[in-house]
Amino acid sequence: MLPPDSPARLPQIQPEDFSDQVKEMFARWTQGPFKDADKNPVLKTFIHAPKTADLFSQLNIHLLLTNSVPVRQRQIAIMRTAWLTKATYMWSSHLRTSMGFGLEPELFRPLQVGADDPYFSDFEKVIIRATEELVADRKIGEATWAALAAEWSHEQMLDFMFTVGAYVLVAGVMRSTGVEREPDLLELAETYGAP
């Protein structure tokens, strides 16, 4: 197995330091997509800023569960964003998330290559290009925009842009704080690679 990550720059909050507000947030988040939120390294890091963590988690829950972009297309965008931003924890955790959503592991190596990999459908290549343009330029190019708009509603276009933008933001926070991967994420990264 891969060696553990370097110690985090911002340590996770420990159970003995959980305030009533923090306990309530963890309980609420656990009812959503975060199993055992009080053990999640990302949430235990973000909770140092409880108001921000709570507001951001509401957006993140929408992006993961009620987003108008279909799951496979959304995960392609999130994972390509993680790869491009070198967000090792995000990439590794979305290996697990993608498999939990029923996506095939054969998807992971092509995501490291990008739109030039023949694995992807024509429209998936458009999604990857749009993701790359948003990450690099903070703007989707004209040709890519037209190709997305030919397939997606206005709601899907906006959900896609907010998804990529939110994950670029989280990549910066995760990389800067140094959130450490759990053993199962290290194992997935060893099998499928990581940036």
Kindly list the domain boundaries of the chain, sorted by start residue. 18-65, 71-192
Q: What percent of the chain has pLDDT over 90?
A: 90
Q: State how far Cα 185 lies from the chain centre.
A: 14
Half-sphere exposure of 158 (CA within 13 A, CB side): 4
CATH of 71-192, one of 3.30.70.1520, 1.10.290.10, 3.40.50.10470, 1.20.1290.10: 1.20.1290.10
Q: What is the pTM of this model?
A: 0.95
pLDDT at position 1: 78
Amino acid at 94: H
- Could you write out the DSSP letters of every residue in 19-69? -HHHHHHHHHHHTTT-TTGGG-HHHHHHTTSHHHHHHHHHHHHIIIII-SS
> 58 is written with which tokens?
């509401």
> Per-residue pLDDT for 32 more than 80?
no
pLDDT at position 28: 87
Average pLDDT, the chain: 95
